[in-house]
Amino acid sequence: MNHDALFKMLLKRPAILKGFFDEFLPQVAEFIDFASLEFVDKEHVTAEGKKRTGDLLVKTRFREEPAAFLIHLEHQAQPDADLPRRMLEYWLLDWREFNLPVYPIAVLSHKQNIPDPGTPLVIRFPNKRVLEFDFDIIDLPKMEADSYVQMNNPAALALAARMKKSSKDTVRLTRDFFLSLAGTPINREDQELVAGFFSRYQPLTEAEALQLETEIGKVKPETAREAVMNLTNPFIELGKQRGLEQGRQQGEAELVLKQLARRIGAIRSSQEEIIRSLPLPKIEALGEALLDFTSPADFARWVRENVERGR
């Protein structure tokens, strides 16, 4: 599973990004102009020439001011003792390239216990403090999923899948998630993306999927139950097949097809069949690559280089 690609898909949706700041960084949300968001999709590299795969760069403005600035969101799925220095390097590279102030944020989703990440990063000499670099850290595994699945906030609901659970009742957690999501005021595409994100990190066994159907059937009033069922049906089917490689491959293919359509528009049925027939690693690679697509030609080039050459 490509964690970075899934996080980018999620947070590149404006309504979900706003929900992220509203819930996790409300003081920052107060000065962001959410009507002015530009996702900088160009490939970012480190000073050593390595591709930066985990970051998302957003250009925006201060509210009621013409001054622009950048937001650097770094997703970290694996522990990294060198995170502060790497965040500083990215900050300097972005500041120099765009000549704009940069607000840095690290989102941690790994489950391993690590010591304090070491912020702020300070370099002192006997006569002066040469550097003090600080950044926000959103440490998801230290948060309680049970609380966040009660919220009508799309970012909180999705990211709850990467938080700790106070109980082992996955069915109840999933039920509460969908009840909240059905009442969250976002469009259908965003709802599907949030549901897809949650389902990949909170899979259900076949028995749990059937139990979830029973629990959803008890929801009242009927209109609320129907709204939830419209969201959970694809998830339940994915949960039933989760233990099978074929089920996982089909689920990832459907997610990539949806994201590809949003990125470059409708594609031909023959191209859809190509994607559905790809092995899982290729589908995951396409899921990451499509974040840089700007036209159907980019997709066609990817197929030539990654599919047709291998035949």
Kindly state the average pLDDT of the residues 52-63: 88
Mean pLDDT value of segment 223-228: 82
Q: Give the chain as a DSSP string.
A: --HHHHHHHHHTSHHHHHHHHHHH-HHHHTTB-TTS-EE--S--B-TTS-B--SEEEEEEEBTTS--EEEEEEEEESS--TTHHHHHHHHHHHHHHHH-S-EEEEEEE---S-------SEEEEETTEEEEEE--EEEEGGGSBHHHHTTSS-HHHHHHGGGSB-SSS-HHHHHHHHHHHHHTS---HHHHHHHHHHHHHHS---HHHHHHHHHHHHT-SSHHHHHHHHHHHHHHHHHHHTTTSHHHHHHHHHHHHHHHHHHHH----HHHHHHHHHS-HHHHHHHHHHGGG--SHHHHHHHHHHHTGGG-
- Which range, 70-84, 124-138, 243-257, 273-287, is most confident? 124-138
Of 243, 274, 291, which residue is a domain's last?
A: 243
48 located within any domain: yes
**What's the rounded mean pLDDT across residues 21-30?**
97
Q: Please indicate, yes or no, whether residues 49 and 118 belong to a single structural domain of this protein.
A: yes
Domain check: are 56 and 133 in the same one? yes
**Per-residue model confidence (pLDDT) at position 259:** 85
In a domain, residue 283? The reply is: yes
- How many structural domains does the chain have? 3
Flag whether 304 is in a domain: no
| Residues 128 and 232 reside in one and the same domain | no
The answer to whether 70 and 38 are in contact (CB under 8 A) is no
pLDDT digits (tens, 9 = 90+) for 252-268: 888 888 888 888 888 88
Q: How confident is the model at residue 246 (pLDDT cuts 50, 70, 90)?
A: low
In angstroms, rounded to a whole number, what is the distance separating the alpha carbons of residues 70 and 72? 6
pLDDT of residue 115: 61
Task: Give me the pLDDT at residue 232, please.
Answer: 62
**Average pLDDT value for residue range 212-220:** 84
pLDDT at 77 over 50: yes
Could you read off the pLDDT of 80-129 as tens digits, one per residue? Answer: 888 899 999 999 999 999 999 999 999 999 876 666 666 789 999 999 99
169 and 266 share one domain? no
Residues 238 and 265 both lie in one domain: no
Q: What values do phi and psi take at 129, rounded to 5?
A: -95, 110
* Same domain? 230 vs 103: no
Q: Is 88 part of any domain?
A: yes
* 308 domain residue, yes or no: no
Same domain assignment for residues 228 and 267: no
The predicted pLDDT at position 190 comes to 93
**Residue 285 domain boundaries:** 246-299
Q: What is the mean pLDDT of residues 9-32?
A: 96
Residue 270 has a pLDDT of 85
Quick check: 139 and 33 in contact, CB under 8 A?
A: no
Q: Are residues 129 and 38 both part of a single domain?
A: yes
For the record, the structure tokens of 198 come out as 């949650």
Q: Rounded mean pLDDT of the chain?
A: 86
Kindly report which listed range (164-168, 243-247, 266-270, 294-298) carries the lowest average pLDDT score. Answer: 243-247
